[in-house]
Structure 1
């Protein structure tokens, strides 16, 4: 692993306060691998053998039931998955695959559990990480339960937007079908919802979304710090 990569991992809240010898032991036992897009990294139902750290690229966590599939979350650098299964040595409840070419650091699960027992700072960081993930799940559940599809899409656009010269721009970093799944919609519903947003001076060109009336979009979405952490 390059020193710059180790520095990125070390800066994560999960690892930043742990003892240096323990961090070095984790890195020495880890594997940094490159994966092309659309490679399955983790399958739901499999044992959690590694904690994964995304150094470059993007990863989708998803789940299936019969012939149905849904996206759960999209992860960008630098972030980890799936800590809960690693910590309690249980099977994965969700799958993971690369959306873009990615570099993934794989840390052996048994070593994570061993360091958790030895290093108090790391143990506290693990508890904090788990608490934050729990709160994310609650926010996501509330977003799905109390908002309409129109409001969810408007909120996603706003949370991922940049604004320049009064024009709001959001880039969809994956195919629109993935966005539909992430928002709990079908592709057809997503298309109809984009059409409905045209009345808010919003246009979609390919994967680029532009809105010339951000205030109207904000009024529709009604962003809430108890859901969106704004």
Structure 2
């Protein structure tokens, strides 16, 4: 593993404050591997052998139930995923696959649990990360359960431009993934995007342009208890398990989960 990558991993909030010898122990048994696009990395229900850290490329976390499938989150560099399963030594609740050529560092979960027991600062960082994930899940579940599809999309657009105050942004994932994340079908997402053109948001391919922010806010009714700073839409550990019958947006049910 290159020194530059070790330095990147060391700066992740999860590892930043831990002792040097604890970090060295984790990295000693770690290895990196490059995967082509659309390779399934883990299967839901499997035992958590490794914590995965994405250093190049991107990974989709998804779930299946009967004949249904939904996107849970998209993970980009540099970030980890499936932390809770590794700490609890419990089966994965999600599956993961690469969206493009992706390089991943794998840390044995048995070493992760051993360091968690002995390194106080690492344990606190782990708790903080899982707490942030839990709050993000609750916010996303509220978004899905309390808003209709139009309100959800308007709120998503406002969140994407919240920090930069920019009037436009590029949708960072395929629209089918965004639709799944928002709990609608791709067809419903397309219709909803067109409807928002009348009230403040124009879509040009993957670019969304806000033409009237106040009108868009009137649709979304932004709330700090739903759209707060730890609502991270495409982050590694965001989302809720969504079930959609493929026809009726109002039939979407959100089921929070532990990562």
Compute the TM-score of the two structures, normalised by the length of structure 2. Answer: 0.83
Q: Which residue of 2 aligns with 1:229?
A: 228
What do the CA deviations read for 1:196-230 (whole angstroms, capped 9, x no partner)? 10102422222111222223222322222211114
Q: Which residue of 1 aligns with 2:45?
A: 45
Change (3 A) 1:49 1:197: same
Q: Say which SS state the counterpart of residue 225 (structure 2) adopts.
A: helix
Change (3 A) 1:126 1:162: closer
| Pairing of 1:47-66 with structure 2 (within 5 A) | 47-66=47-66
| Pairing of 1:104-183 with structure 2 (within 5 A) | 104-161=104-161, 168-183=167-182
User: For the Cα contact (< 8 Å) 1:167–1:212, is it kept in 2?
Assistant: no
Counterpart Cα distance in 2 of 1:215 and 1:99: 35
Provide the aligned length of Structure 1 versus Structure 2.
Answer: 229
Structure 1 gap segments, 5+ residues each: none
Q: Tell me the C-alpha RMSD between the 2 structures.
A: 1.8
In terms of fraction of residues, the more helix-rich structure is 1
Counterpart Cα distance in 1 of 2:55 and 2:222: 30
User: For the Cα contact (< 8 Å) 1:139–1:227, is it kept in 2?
Assistant: yes
Structure 2 gap segments, 5+ residues each: 230-259
Counterpart Cα distance in 1 of 2:218 and 2:5: 41
Q: Say which SS state the counterpart of residue 104 (structure 2) adopts.
A: strand
